[in-house]
Structure 1
């Protein structure tokens, strides 16, 4: 167990000196910076805080930048949409079924990749749907577990092999920031194949970075 490390995420609830000190005293030896939230100014401020506390306490701490990766989210809704178990719901770029509720999103790659029978999870799995048919611009699904769908909630497709790059433009910009800042590790989200890791390592090599890579296994094909 000596190789096991405690990692904590720094954010609004933990980015104060006394809290970082307390966490290090309790055994934390790694800090995760979540690049799904916050801007570079916030991250550099938190990075300096962690490095400063680490130095003053004489405790080595690893810094991990966790890239956002491709995020599939519900587009803007005029108002939340309640969906009930057994109902049919259309999801896509534009509606073709005027008689059912419609949830908009902007990812044609999802429509091209998804197949009948696959599940769609909304809002961290609180709402579950199953695809029953698809067209060019949308797919029709049946609600298995109902709830209220709100704007910008995440869509997760655990059974769909998506043709979406693991590294987005935002990730690339964040990675260059992380290299310049001096992070120890970079975590790649939604890894699908060795090629995703090799692409990331190639960028690090071109910029002469010694950052280590963490592959986050979040998809079945990984």
Structure 2
């Protein structure tokens, strides 16, 4: 049977909501560490443990690592670019002009090539590299867009010389071993060696019982899929960054293939991202969202995941109910 994995946040981090979620069959709670720190996570984890005592039940807690992130710099005022406009991306903050963007990945100039596409703000703003200098790239805006402060940068098809686990991720992993977490999700997993490195670290720090979930969300993860599945305890089809790193139209194909391989290797698999995105603000889903859940279940997903829908949405319990009903329908066939 397909189960539901929910993401913690202000919308559900209280005794009443956690009790209702447990009674609705939810058993895994995800802490998304790009949006949590250890202090706030500890507060919510302790609250969960108190709820467990009252219910006589148990939640599994999942810590989702931040992973390596590339961002633009701080802007006091957003910059609006028009389609076809050319501007610079610099890797030294003190070299940034009024209409330039700073990027905090120091090897960007070496790694990017002419005609490389750089995706800014989680893929909303695409620019093309047209010139390389010693301290900057000249890029052309492919659409008109306004860029705000500290926006995510994706470099599809470019191998970035960044560790899969950052020092902060290792520190957060230690936090997980000490505070009752049962799962860790590794963001941007690129190889089986990445998983083995985390497993060795857990063994060295009294965390060998913690299960490792590999998130497949870039081209390298797709290319090394078999060895990643073999090395992991669970797999997440993380469609957010995957859909930024790879063409959107290929994501359903990759999802089907990942689920198929996981079933062959008897590894649990989670389908995640935007499953009921519109229900963050609306009380009912779109027909497309219902179909998305339905076909994920039919393909063999062991879990379907709610992200912002339960973390910050207006209708977290309704989202769980919608998922339960769709799962029930899909499993009748």
Partner in structure 1 of residue 293 of structure 2 = none
* 2:110 alignment partner, SS class: helix
Gaps of 5+ in 1: none
Gaps of 5+ in 2: 222-333
Partner in structure 2 of residue 109 of structure 1 = 107
CA distance, structure 2, for counterparts of residue 34 and residue 97 of structure 1: 32
Deviation track 1:62-114 (CA, whole Å, cap 9, x = no partner) reads 1100010111111112421111111112112248897x931012211233222
Contact 2:91 2:108 (8 Å CA) reproduced: no
Partner in structure 1 of residue 213 of structure 2 = 214
- Correspondence for 1:194 among 192, 207, 214: 192
C-alpha root-mean-square deviation of aligned residues, in Å? 2.0
Deviation track 1:6-62 (CA, whole Å, cap 9, x = no partner) reads 111111222111111222222222100111123212111111222222342244321
* 1:216 alignment partner, SS class: strand
- Correspondence for 1:125 among 103, 123, 133: 123
* 2:129 alignment partner, SS class: strand
Deviation track 1:179-212 (CA, whole Å, cap 9, x = no partner) reads 1112100011111122211111110111131111
Q: Of Structure 1 and Structure 2, which has the larger fraction of its residues in strand?
A: 1
Partner in structure 1 of residue 160 of structure 2 = 162
CA distance, structure 2, for counterparts of residue 174 and residue 134 of structure 1: 37
The 3 A distance-change label for structure 1 pair 169 and 96 is closer
CA distance, structure 2, for counterparts of residue 136 and residue 190 of structure 1: 29
Q: Of Structure 1 and Structure 2, which has the larger fraction of its residues in helix?
A: 2
Partner in structure 2 of residue 185 of structure 1 = 183
- Corresponding residue pairs, total: 219
The 3 A distance-change label for structure 1 pair 132 and 62 is same
* 2:100 alignment partner, SS class: strand
Give the structure-1-normalised TM-score.
0.90
- The more displaced of 63-72 and 187-196 is 187-196
Segments ≥4 residues shifted beyond 6 Å: 95-98
